[in-house]
Structure 1
Amino acid sequence: MEKRAPRSRFSYLSSIFLLVFFIFSSLSEAGGESPFEIQQRDKVFLLPGQSFNVSFAHYSGYVTVDEQNGKALFYWFFEAAEDPDSKPLVLWLNGGPGCSSIAFGLAEELGPFHVSPDGKGIYLNQYSWNQVANILFLDSPVGVGFSYSNNSNDILNNGDASTAKDSVEFLKKWFKQFPQYNGRDFYLTGESYAGHYVPQLAQAIVRSPQLTGEASINLKGYMVGNALTDDFYDHFGVFQFMWAAGLISDQTYKLLQNLCDHESFVHTSEECERILDVASDELGNIDPYSIFTPSCTGSITFSRNKLLKRMNIGKMSEKYDPCTEKHSTVYFNLPEVQKAIHVDPSFAPSKWETCNDIVNENWKDSNASILPIYKELIDYGLRIWMFSGDTDSVIPVTSTRYNVDALKLPTVVPWHAWYDDGQVGGWSQVYKGLTLVTVRGAGHEVSLHRPKQALLLFKQFLTGSPMPTLSEHASF
């Protein structure tokens, strides 16, 4: 790799001067504050329990997406650890629907800070994705995490369409508050029910010419993991995976096929729910989101074995800890933490939770299939990757493979193993318009279970490079 020639002191100071001039001369729509003032207001300094310094700036706060109803989405943005001006901008979304990207994506997966076991401190994640990109985490929709609305009915009326609309509005205003990122290469990423959020948001962006291009949102592509995609193929793949892995009986497998094949994963019939409960009982006390790792035996706020309730959990760290969600629940309920990250005390939840059952149970619309959006966006020319941890039984690798197969795309690079440190990291196949990657030994949250391999995956996605083969890996 070529080394970038160092910039002269004059060039550096000139760039800083121009940036500051631009920021001060551009006033935002909100209260006449300049972008510079907003960024200074949202800048995060020392976090409670932080015993180390960092080289990057980070910001958190609110963006109002509906002035009339007072709908505000909470974000936390981390600049790249090195040379952020040259790095792309990446938005990460968690799913549920109803689960917090701060709780999962940031605090236990790919964010730079993870929560310590006592719930009172944080430590650095050596495999954070902000090593190679500027990362923006968003709690969406309202009612999730610290995001709120003045109108309590909004929390009862979330759905796919409203979430995409609010996310577009968030991005429009966020880019005005951070104008230095206008025109920057921009990617969408997420997992689980973000298999709906991410393609739907990408579609909304490309369908709005006034939002796209180098002047504003320069969307280049998206990547989703263990993604809910199509009701039929998702169900078919789940049942097949659980049966093949020896998690359920032959009889239950046949009943699942007969009663749930054509049902929505979110809104099911009573018969389908009944047999899903039977399947949950047969699974035993395991983590269905990571079937070969220990489950958290401590007191936690949800039942892991109810497959319909959440699509977005799974527990571990660099040294496996199945109770990371429990630690985050303690940390983000600390008043001093909420103050440090600029949570509005007027709208802070009485108890912050990783997932909001009210949002999940009152979801208004969920597309039966996202595959038509894939076809549209493939034709548009976006870089699209799907990845899958192969030990997740909730949205398993079988479901993802059935979904990709349904697109009927020509193969460019056949199915093959990819490598990390001389070991098989998973398998991959490159199609015309889409790349599929599996991650060996990872559960639902790939960055939680295989953080090093997940960072390699992310790097390859950003550069558009195939996953390394053994011979390519040996030449590094």
Structure 2
Amino acid sequence: MRLALALLCSAVALAQPAKRSDHLVRANQLGFSDSRDQQKVGDSYAGHLVVRKTPAYEAGVFYWYFRAEENPDTAPLVVWIQGGPGGSSVEDGLFFEMGPLRVEEKEGLSPERPRYILRRNPYTWTRKYNMIFLDQPVGTGFSYVDPPTPMIMSDKLHNFWTRHLLNGRTRVQPLSAAQSSKLNATFQFTDQTQPSSSAPTEDGDFAHGYAANEAGVSKDFITFMLAFYDLFPETKNLSLHLTSESYGGKYVPEIAAAIAKHNDDASSAAQKIPLTTLAIGNQWTDPHTQIGVHPEHFLQIGLIDDVQAGLLSEPIERARDAVKREDWVGGLEARGDMFQMLSVFTGGINWYDFRLGNKGLPVQHIERYLLQEQTQKTLHAQKKTFGTDSAVFMSLATDNMKTTLPLFPDLLKRYKVLLYQGHFDLRDGVVSNSRWIEAIDWDGRVPFKFANRQVWTSSEGELQGYVTQYANLTRVVLLGCGHLAPADDGCPAASLEMITRHIDNAKFL
């Protein structure tokens, strides 16, 4: 109970500004090309909320909140957090996946000054739901730690993070010479150690202001939600639904478990967070299990041959052995070796969606839009240039290869859980997720395994995927999309219908 009270008091004290009007984003300031789109999306709210403040630093998260197009006063509240770690919910979720906005880059007065035009995403989840897009952990996207603490990482880990985990789609903050010199005088991050806190009194779940584990991530999330409810008290009466993808297979279970404890410890209903359902796409949840299926999976779809599958098994077994020994960074580096080897074997295949061949995701224009001074001014995001601090990844380097599988038995007793995968995803796709889902030790393990896998079609009869359901667990395989399933080139219509059925407690079949 003391933890819940402390978080509540902290959130009330830290919530800035006191007036939501200071975070108002007028729709007519965003640059819509069609007034009808502008009217449907409507005004929104964006800005920073401070989650921690010490004598050494201040840490704040950035959110962008859209009210539902339909029945906003009663529509459920959905929070989207991007994976990574270090992926921006604003860049990816809001502008590339299920968010209400799409941005087009047009020729301007000069090549250095392009024009940006916004339009509405017809398949946005905000058609039916109030939505928060949250840049977290602190240091991600527009979220910040002030002063920031850049961390030097090995070339191997840097390549793994920026290319294989972020796929080059989120800008990594550069390390200046002055910052590098200062960093060398304070600490060096090695492959086997977590950076020690610069403040002796700092909570052990944080390092230099950044989340050092999932407990730190969860604490900041709860503090944010309590501060958000203080700023928007009418949303406290709405059911809350936590959604994510990829590294969200780590974030969401840990946050949901922390909220459950927070609610159990709360002294009154007013202090509780009304979390109702969880939804995670293409999950990175149980690394030891999931990486073991890659050679077989890649071989069966023709991306590698038998000899290459054998070679690929070597770094995978190194990674699995490191996980058993709890050498978390060693396991992470070995996983990076596996992805690098796969890239060589396949000519740089895009493992987020192998239909793309060796092309990246088309999101660079979104980043350029978010880097515009006028954009940051409109969004009240001027405390930090858009990008992700290297410390986000490095502070969680010992978290990446840990499992959240043991949390699911209790979560399935408390919440409805949706797990979905796009079947063109190579990284955290259908096969790797099937293995750990089958291993959940819960009361429905056997009934779920033998439940009928149903064909799922749209109202027009179009095949959308396959659904397995039992008790609180729903598993959906989406046809025609990859790792970022709700994206425009993925399954936007099916994803909207899927999340609607999940949140509204409607049957798929």
Shorter chain as denominator, the TM-score bin is 0.7 to 0.9
1:341-420 matches, cutoff 5 A? 341-344=379-382, 347-349=383-385, 352-353=386-387, 355-366=388-399, 368-379=402-413, 381-408=414-441, 409-411=445-447, 413-420=451-458
What is the one-letter code of the residue matched to 2:102? H
Q: 2: CA distance between counterparts of 1:29 and 1:92? A: 25
- CA–CA separation in structure 1 for the residues paired with 2:289 and 2:230: 40
Aligned to 1:129: 125
Aligned equivalents of 1:158, 1:166: Cα separation in 2: 12
In the alignment, is residue 240 of structure 1 matched against residue 292 of structure 2? Answer: no
Q: How does 1:32-71 map to 2 (within 5 A)?
A: 34=18, 38-45=19-26, 46-51=28-33, 52=35, 53-55=38-40, 56-68=42-54, 69-71=57-59
The separation in 2 between residues aligned to 1:219 and 1:73, in whole angstroms, is: 20
Shift of 1:285: 3.6
Amino acid at match of 1:62: H
Name the structure 1 match of 2:250: 196
8 Å contact from structure 1 (residues 99, 356) kept in 2: no
Residue in structure 2 matched with residue 319 of structure 1 by the alignment: none
CA–CA distance in structure 2, aligned partners of residues 252 and 467 of structure 1: 40
- Mapped to 2, the partners of 1:428 and 1:249 lie a distance apart of 31
Deviations for 1:67-117, whole angstroms, at most 9, x for unmatched residues? 223110000001000211111001101011011000100011011001114
Match of 1:92 in 2: 80
Unaligned runs of 5+ in 1: 1-26, 297-303, 305-314, 316-322, 469-476
SS in 2 for 1:393: coil
Q: Tell me if structure 2 keeps the 8 A contact 1:426–1:439.
A: yes
Q: Distance in 2 between matches of 1:43 and 1:270?
A: 43
Q: TM-score, normalised by structure 2?
A: 0.75
For the residues of structure 1 that align with 2:102 and 2:232, how far apart are their CA atoms?
25
Structure 1 residues 140 and 157 mapped into 2: Cα distance closer, same or farther (>3 Å)? closer
Matched, 1:456 2:438: no
Please report how far the alpha carbon of residue 374 of structure 1 lies from its aligned counterpart in structure 2 after TM superposition: 0.8
Report the alpha carbon displacement of residue 430 of structure 1 after superposing the two structures with TM.
0.8
* Contact 1:410/1:431 (<8 A) preserved: no
| 2-structure distance, mates of 1:340, 1:30 | 22
Q: Distance in 2 between matches of 1:388 and 1:198?
A: 16
Alignment equivalent of 1:218, drawn from 265, 274, 282: 274
Map of 1:284 onto structure 2? 347
How far apart are 1:327 and its partner, in Å? Answer: 1.2
Residues 74, 147 of structure 1: 8 Å contact kept: yes
Q: Sequence identity of aligned pairs in percent?
A: 26
The 8 Å contact of residues 111 and 130 in structure 1, kept in 2 or not, is answered as yes
Instruction: Report the residue type matching 2:244 in the other structure.
Output: G
Q: What does residue range 21-36 of structure 1 map to in structure 2 within 5 Å? A: 29=13, 34=18
The Cα shift of 1:274 comes to 3.6
How far is 1:132 from its partner? 1.1
1:288 maps to a residue whose letter is W
Question: Which consecutive unaligned segments of at least 5 residues does structure 2 have?
Answer: 1-10, 107-114, 150-207
Q: Note the C-alpha offset of 1:294.
A: 5.3
Shift of 1:277: 1.7
Conserved? CA contact 1:47–1:337, under 8 Å: no
Counterparts of 1:241 and 1:180 in 2: how far apart (Å)? Answer: 48
Work out whether residues 143 and 155 of structure 1, in 8 Å CA contact, stay in contact via their aligned partners in 2: no
Pair 181,259 (structure 1): closer, same or farther in 2 beyond 3 Å: same
Matching residue within 90, 101, 124 for 2:89: 101
Match of 1:472 in 2: none
Return closer, same or farther for 1:155/1:328 CA change in 2, 3 Å cut-off: farther
Aligned residue for 1:6? none
| 1: CA distance, partners of 2:137 / 2:334 | 30
2:356 to 283, 289, 293: 293
Partner of 2:366: 328
Q: Given that residues 79 and 133 in structure 2 are in contact (C-alpha distance below 8 angstroms), is that contact kept between their aligned partners in structure 1?
A: yes
Contact 2:15 2:49 in 1 (8 A): no
Classify 1:342/1:424 alpha carbon distance in 2 versus 1 (closer, same or farther; 3 Å): same
Assess if the C-alpha contact under 8 Å between 2:138 and 2:210 holds in 1. no
Query: How far apart in 1 are the matches of 2:210 and 2:425?
Result: 30
Shift of 1:466: 3.1
Structure 2 vs 1, CA of residues 270 and 29 (structure 1 numbering), >3 Å: closer, same or farther? Answer: closer
Q: Which amino acid aligns with 1:282?
A: F
Q: Find the counterpart in structure 1 of residue 478 from structure 2.
A: 439
Q: Which amino acid aligns with 1:377?
A: L
Q: 1:451 to 1:273 in 2, by over 3 A?
A: closer
Q: 1:97 to 1:275 in 2, by over 3 A?
A: closer
**CA distances 1:377-412 after superposition (whole Å, capped 9, x unpaired):** 112x21111000000101111111111111151336
Partner-residue secondary structure (3-state), 1:84? coil
Q: 1:90 to 1:159 in 2, by over 3 A?
A: same
- Structure 2 equivalent of residue 473 of structure 1: none
> Counterpart in 2 of 1:427?
466
Length-normalised TM-score, structure 1: 0.80
Does the 8 A contact of 1:146 with 1:343 survive in 2? yes
What SS does the aligned partner of 1:268 have?
helix
User: What amino acid is the match of 2:24?
Assistant: K
How many Å separate the matches in 1 of 2:271 and 2:210? 36
Give the drift of 1:155: 6.0
